[in-house]
């Protein structure tokens, strides 16, 4: 699932590609993923692109917003020629380097002939028209509101710390990839209960969350594992080359050479070093 660094990367790129463009028409290939009337945004100009947590919000000149959640496998791809959208490499899950493809659900056409393609093989993601940008309940971990005091206040749960880190009502934007690596960075076992962390451990984990999220943004997000996440030009992110433990089961720990272990937590895989993270 695209997490904060992936969505922030997409936002930064699309701001350069889309701001100032006027929407000409919208092809809806799967109604559930664009449930509103396209007429609400036709001829509106894109004036800004925002993000909170894992949700992208495209601000329009008519006061509307296109709120976009990519969920597990969504992709946003931009082509200068929407009627002849050809990318340098095959798009994961599209089985082609040409769009629209079998995974394309929505195409937003602009007046200049360019287009934004929303691909989503599992049909969980969505684009919704709204009068306001989507807001997460939890504090975005790249915002100024994400302070050490706020983080400490959210460690009052008896749930395992890995589960708490991924709770979007507490911390908006942290998913499985960066939760694993932050816990390794802070030397905290993913199964430890959040309310049992010492003040020192909590402080280290706070800094670790910020560090791995910023590193993820620096390297344009992670395209590891299923490789479904791509940038708007179809290329892959690079964070997977710098990940400490995520999807490193059976490989030696970068600190102590102990083999990385994998367990299941809340239906998701957790990766950790049994020696460094206690």
Strands across the sheet containing 23-28: 23-28, 104-110, 115-119, 75-79
What's phi and psi for 62, nearest 5 deg? -95, 10
Catalytic residue among 3, 8, 134, 185: 3
Give the three-class secondary structure for 203.
helix
Catalytic-residue membership of 3: yes
- Element (H or E) spanning 164, and its range? helix 161-165
CA distance 249 to 61: 48
| Maximum distance among all Cα pairs of the chain, rounded to whole angstroms | 59
Catalytic-residue membership of 92: no
Catalytic-residue membership of 249: no
Contacts with 257 (C-beta within 8 Å, 6 or more apart), sequence order: none
Beta-sheet pairing, 65-69 with 126-130: antiparallel
User: How many residues make up the chain in this entry?
Assistant: 278
Catalytic residue among 11, 21, 51, 54: 54
Catalytic residue among 128, 154, 268, 275: 268
Beta-sheet pairing, 126-130 with 139-140: unpaired
Catalytic-residue membership of 211: no
Quote the tokens at residue 27.
């092809």
Catalytic residue among 2, 100, 133, 232: 2
Catalytic residues: 2-3, 54, 268
């Amino acid at each position: 699932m695209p997490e904060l660094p992936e969505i922030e990367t997409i936002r930064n790129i699309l701001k350069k590609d889309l701001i100032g463009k006027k929407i000409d028409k919208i092809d809806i290939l799967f109604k559930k993923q664009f449930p509103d009337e396209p007429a609400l945004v036709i001829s509106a100009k894109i004036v800004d692109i925002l993000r909170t947590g894992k949700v992208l919000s495209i601000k329009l000149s008519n006061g509307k917003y296109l709120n976009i959640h990519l969920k597990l496998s969504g992709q946003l791809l931009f082509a200068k020629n929407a009627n002849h959208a050809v990318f340098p490499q095959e798009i994961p899950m599209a089985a082609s380097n040409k769009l629209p493809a079998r995974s394309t659900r929505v195409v937003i056409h602009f007046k200049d002939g360019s287009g934004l393609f929303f691909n989503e093989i599992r049909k969980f993601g969505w684009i919704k028209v709204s009068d306001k940008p989507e807001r997460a309940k939890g504090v975005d971990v790249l915002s100024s509101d994400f302070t050490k005091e706020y983080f400490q206040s959210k460690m009052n749960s008896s749930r395992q710390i890995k589960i708490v880190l991924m709770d979007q009502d507490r911390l908006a934007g942290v998913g499985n990839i960066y939760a694993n690596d932050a816990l390794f960075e802070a030397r905290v076992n993913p199964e430890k209960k959040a309310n049992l962390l010492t003040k020192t451990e909590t402080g280290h984990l706070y800094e670790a969350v910020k560090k791995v999220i910023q590193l993820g943004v620096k390297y344009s997000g992670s395209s590891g594992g299923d490789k479904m996440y791509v940038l708007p030009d179809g290329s892959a992110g690079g964070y997977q080359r710098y990940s400490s433990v995520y999807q490193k089961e059976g490989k030696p720990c970068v600190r102590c050479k102990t083999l990385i272990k994998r367990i299941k937590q809340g239906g998701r895989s957790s990766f950790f070093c049994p020696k460094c993270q206690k």
